[in-house]
A = this chain, B = another copy of it.
Amino acid sequence: MNLHEEILDMGKKAQIASRALLLLSPRKKNHILMDMADELDSRKAELLAANEKDMNEGRNEGLSDAMLDRLQLTESRIGAMTKGLRAIADLKDPIGTKISRWIRPNGLEICKQRVPIGVIGIIYESRPNVTADTSALCIKTSNAVILRGGKEAINSNAVIVRALTDSGSRRGLPPNAIQFIQAPGHDAVRELVQLEGLVDLVIPRGGESLIRAVTEQARVPVIKHYKGICHTYVDKSANLEMALSISINAKCQRPGVCNAMETLLIHEDVATSFLPAVAAQLRERGVELRGDEKSRTIVPDLKEAVEDDWYAEYLDKILAIRIVPSVEAAIDHINTYGSRHSDTIVTEDEEAMKKFAMQVDSAAVYINASTRFTDGGEFGMGAEIGISTDKLHARGPMGLEELTTYKYVIYGKGQIRG
């Protein structure tokens, strides 16, 4: 088989598996997930050895420290992975849930109920725990999954997939419910995302260039976020102590993630008091500050922010700062330059809260809290398969419900249309 045939064959097998998955009871699925966790626990040594191989190859190929850190598995990280599987087993199963139900005047009973999406492709980089997490989320929602991990984690991923499928098949998981693309190179990804009619959804997770490549090649639906350009807006009526703590947290608690702050907007009425204070604290934490003209009249030694800075996702200890004349101007800035991910206002003014909440066109709009909470776990979803800045189907953190669609089942007694 050539690559095209190989991936096509995986798609066909996944579709068959997705139909068999419909027949598993919630209880059965949970048993499978618990067994998978046990099996991973029992293969810890094998997994650590495979990961060591990946780490060595990564070092030889000059992977960055950040990449190596994401790639590395430890006893405690494997423990977190198996704990995650058991936690997913404990979550409420959304499949079969009636979303709504009504009876028409002609007696037809219309039930709108949750069903699996079908076959889901996941394309991701480095972190091997994604292999276990996303497989578990898909099995819990009765979706077949085709995994495509990064080549840097190939040995670790292979062990994890074997553990999941071996224990799964002993417990009655349909064959090919979890498949893993081994073939190297971008061509395999292209083949996967063009399997129209076989793959129902692709979720790419990784850097912007990976996601853009997937989206441009895809002939199947993709849910994604390209990047997170998140804003904190400090209103004129803000509690400035709160604004300070939220700004520091949003920028510094973990600068490399998509829900960290990239631009700080400050109302001109509080800029003279707030900017010097926040600038000092951010610099103390090693953050490079780039300000617009107005902010540089207040703190003269700021670097100059240029137009590109408003569009920048630094993912690093760099922050763009702009002084704005009103909440409307802040909203306008966010809707123009933002990425529709997560944005927050710090204010004590009800009117400003309302305007900001209604008009900022982002997946998560915060009032007086750090943007760092946009995360399936923090939202109480138990786990997430990714975060969406798309507007259709799923927006923000995606948990179990977001891996389902619905169908209408209509019960009649022979009704025909007049």
B393-A408 in contact (CB<8A): no
A17 → B minimal CB distance (Å):
13
A200-B391 in contact (CB<8A): yes
Residues of B within 8 A of A370 (CB): 412, 415-417
A414-B245 in contact (CB<8A): yes
Please tell me if A140 contacts chain B, counting CB pairs below 8 Å: no
Task: Write out, one digit per residue, whether chain A residues 347-384 have a CB within 8 A of any chain B CB (1) or not (0).
Answer: 00000000001110111111111101110001110000
A410-B221 in contact (CB<8A): no
Please tell me if A406 contacts chain B, counting CB pairs below 8 Å: yes
Please tell me if A66 contacts chain B, counting CB pairs below 8 Å: no
Please tell me if A1 contacts chain B, counting CB pairs below 8 Å: no
Asked if A380 meets B104 with Cβ closer than 8 Å, knowing A200-B391, A201-B391, A407-B364, the reply is yes
The A380-418 residues at the B interface (CB cut-off 8 A) are 380, 390-393, 395-396, 405-417
Task: Write out, one digit per residue, whether chain A residues 110-144 have a CB within 8 A of any chain B CB (1) or not (0).
Answer: 10000001100000000000000000000000000
Please tell me if A242 contacts chain B, counting CB pairs below 8 Å: yes
A415 → B minimal CB distance (Å):
4
Please tell me if A321 contacts chain B, counting CB pairs below 8 Å: no
Residues of B within 8 A of A246 (CB): 414, 416
B19-A359 in contact (CB<8A): yes
Residues of B within 8 A of A406 (CB): 395
Interchain CA distance A303-B409 in the complex, whole Å: 33
Please tell me if A287 contacts chain B, counting CB pairs below 8 Å: no
Residues of B within 8 A of A223 (CB): 392
Which single residue of chain B is at the shortest CB-CB distance from A196? B215
Asked if A414 meets B368 with Cβ closer than 8 Å, knowing A201-B392, A357-B409, A359-B19, the reply is yes
Residues of B within 8 A of A415 (CB): 368-370, 373
Please tell me if A22 contacts chain B, counting CB pairs below 8 Å: yes
Residues of B within 8 A of A364 (CB): 407-408, 410
Please tell me if A42 contacts chain B, counting CB pairs below 8 Å: no
A367-B410 in contact (CB<8A): yes
Residues of B within 8 A of A374 (CB): 408
A87 → B minimal CB distance (Å):
16
Name A392's contact: one of B110, B221, B239, B250 (CB within 8 Å).
Answer: B221
Please tell me if A155 contacts chain B, counting CB pairs below 8 Å: no
Interchain CA distance A409-B364 in the complex, whole Å: 6
B108-A373 in contact (CB<8A): yes
Please tell me if A249 contacts chain B, counting CB pairs below 8 Å: yes
Name A391's contact: one of B110, B118, B358 (CB within 8 Å).
Answer: B118
Please tell me if A182 contacts chain B, counting CB pairs below 8 Å: no
A405-B378 in contact (CB<8A): no
Residues of B within 8 A of A242 (CB): 414
Name A358's contact: one of B22, B117, B201, B366 (CB within 8 Å).
Answer: B22
Residue pairs across A and B with Cβ atoms less than 8 A apart, 20 shown, are A201-B391, A221-B392, A245-B416, A249-B417, A357-B409, A364-B408, A364-B410, A365-B407, A365-B408, A367-B410, A368-B414, A369-B411, A369-B412, A369-B416, A370-B415, A372-B417, A373-B410, A379-B408, A395-B405, A396-B408
Given contacts A364-B410, A365-B409, 9 further A-B contacts (CB under 8 A): A221-B221, A221-B391, A249-B416, A253-B416, A357-B409, A367-B412, A368-B411, A368-B412, A379-B408
